[in-house]
Every structure is written in structure tokens, then in C-alpha cells.
Homo-oligomer: A and B are copies of this chain.
Amino acid sequence: MSSTAALQDILELVRPELSRMDQELVEDLRPGDPSLGPLLEHVAGYRGKQLRPALVFLTGKMFGEVAEAHYTCAKVVELIHTATLVHDDILDGAVVRRSEATVNELYGNEVPVLLGDYIYALAFHMAVSLDDPTCARMFSAAVRVVCQGEITQCLHRGDTDWNEERYLQVISEKTASLYGAACRVGGHYADASEPQLQALWSFGEQLGIAFQIIDDCLDLTGEESVVGKSLGTDLGLGKLTLPMIHLIGNSGDRRERLLQMITDPQPGRGFEELRQEFDVEASVAYAMGRGREFVEGAVRALAELPEGSARDAIGGLAEYVLRRHY
């Protein structure tokens, strides 16, 4: 079974909830001013794997029925994710996202800065529509942490002293905090206990770290046609991800040569040359092993939570993260 089909299978349990959420988001993204119509429609097409809203629904279902607040939380986390994508594409100079031109490619860099802000504000406004402020508090705190991680990464581009500890700290902030928050709010609005909420956060955080590690591996060894972008993109942007940190750490007396290739790549063929001279695959294998350890940690955190089909599905999601190809 392809990893896409496997994911669809896992999400079957919350398919009705995800469909309703999708329909509501189309309504929520209706513009206040008609000029914004084409922009918001374009961005509505960005929604992809829906992992974060699925986590809200699945963690909710672990403790009983999905409540109205879960729909709000699911939409909030999906909108926040969409806003980060719109802004990330500016940072990365990306031209294509999910087979469509990015907003920066279509409109230059100004419109997507504002559009991302608009979507963030929409998400926060939606979050504070709930009487219980937990959703708004969790997600506004999480966005701050996400941005902190992204800024730290940005400020350390091309920093060849970057190490595994700092890398894990940054991905925990920029990626895992939103996963942790999604799982915790799902439990919160289903009246989970505080120890259960902590287990949910721990599950989400470790899943998010694993997700990002695998993402960074796919950037180096995925199939371009499946991943949907050129290999070595992170490297070209000066982002030193876990496999590259490992490669540098194990380059011995060829360290200078490697750093030179990384910091001053030959346009176009730089990454291919690097793969010929250095054992990138071994370092990717190391990073995948680390990713597997975080998935195992996530699965262990699940053991403290109520058994049932929701917990099985969420465990399946963790396994999927390791197997995915895009």
C-alpha cells in the first residue's frame, strides 16, 4: 500500500469530522472584501495531509464524543498551519506548493506577508469565540514558540557549528509545539485529566519531532517527483539538518572539504557532487534511526491513554510518519 493510501486508511475514523471541517473552512475563508476572493480561494487549496486537525479529532475521540469545540480547535490549527506555509514560502523563495504556484510567485512578497497575518488573525479570532479560553491560550503560546524556533533557525543559517542538541531544540519549537498543542486541546475539550493531557502533549511533541526529522531526510534522499521539490533545498538555504550535522561530525580529516562544499556550493550540481564524495546515505540512516526513537517515545506515551479505535488510529499515524515518502 502506498503511504498516501495508508494515511487515508488511518484517518477513516475521523473522515466525517475532517469533511465537515473542510466545508466550514471554505465558509470561514470567504473574504470580507471581494478583492481578496482569488487569494483566499488559492490558499484554501493548500490544505494537505490534515494531520494536525486529525490529531485534534482523534485525541478527542479517545475520551468519548467529538464536541463542537473540537471543530473550532481543528480549524484553528489548520489555519495556523496554513499561515505558516504562506510565510515559509516567502522565506524559502518557494515557487510551487502542492503543485500550485505559491502566493509569492504569483503576487511578489508583499501580499503573502499580509495574507499570512490575515489568516493568523482569523485563526485567533476563531479561537477566542469559544467561552473556554484554553484553545486560544494554547495556540497563541504555540505560535510564539513556532516563530522563536524559525527565527533561531534563520539566524543560524550556514552556521557549521550547529549541533544535534540545538537542532532538536529548534524543531521541537518550530514543528512539534503545534502537534503538542493539537493533541492537548483535543483531550482538554473531552475532559481528559491533567496526567492524560501531559501524556497527550508528550505524544504530540515527539510525533512532531519525528515528523520534522523525516521531512529533513526526505529533502536529501526522497524522490523529487514524490516529495514535490528539488533535493538538497535545505542545504542550498544554509539549513543544517540532522543528517548533515551527523555527516559533518563524522567527516574526520575531510571536514574542511565538506564544509567548503556546504558553504560554497556549485550552483546546480553541488549536492550531487557532495553525495558522490560523502556517505550521505549513512547519515540519513542515522537520522531516520533518531526519528524512529521519537516515534517509539510517542507510542510509549500513548500507553497511558484509554484503549480503543481512536488510540489505535493515532498509533497508526505515528507509524505512518516513519513510512511516508512525501
Contacts and interface: CB of A to CB of B under 8 A. Distances in A.
Interface stretch (A6-14, A134-142, A262-270, A318-326): A134-142
Contacts of A282: none
Contacts of A147: 114-115, 117-118, 121
Given A35-B151, A90-B109, A128 B133 contact: yes
Central interface residue in A83, A111, A113, A125, by most chain B CB within 10 Å:
A113
Contact of A124 (B83, B124, B150, B173): B124
A25 interface: no
Contacts of A118: 144, 147-148, 151
A165 to B, nearest CB: 13
B148 A125 contact: no
Interface string A6-47: 000000000000000000000000011101100100000000
Nearest to A142: B121
A259 interface: no
A136 B148 contact: no
Given A121-B147, A144-B125, A110 B137 contact: no
A137 B127 CA distance: 9
Contacts of A137: 125, 128-129
Oligomer copy total: 2
A145 interface: yes
Contacts of A131: 133
A110 B154 contact: yes
A144 B31 CA distance: 10
Contacts of A117: 83, 87, 116-117, 120, 143, 147
Nearest to A128: B136
Contact of A143 (B115, B121, B129, B156): B121
A152 interface: yes
A106 to B, nearest CB: 11
A67 interface: no
A16 to B, nearest CB: 29
A72 to B, nearest CB: 13
Nearest to A126: B140
A35 B116 contact: no
Given A118-B148, A143-B117, A110 B91 contact: yes
A115 B148 CA distance: 8
A141 B128 CA distance: 10
Contacts of A168: none
Contact of A151 (B90, B114, B136, B144): B114
B110 A90 contact: yes
Given A87-B114, A90-B109, A114-B87, A155 B35 contact: yes
Interface of A: 31-33, 35-36, 39, 83, 87, 90-91, 107, 109-111, 113-118, 120-122, 124-125, 127-129, 131, 133, 136-137, 140-141, 143-148, 150-152, 154-156, 173
9 contacts: A32-B144, A36-B151, A39-B151, A90-B109, A114-B147, A114-B150, A114-B151, A118-B147, A129-B137
What 4 A-B pairs have minimum CB-CB distances, sorted nearest first?
A: A118-B147, A125-B140, A121-B143, A121-B144
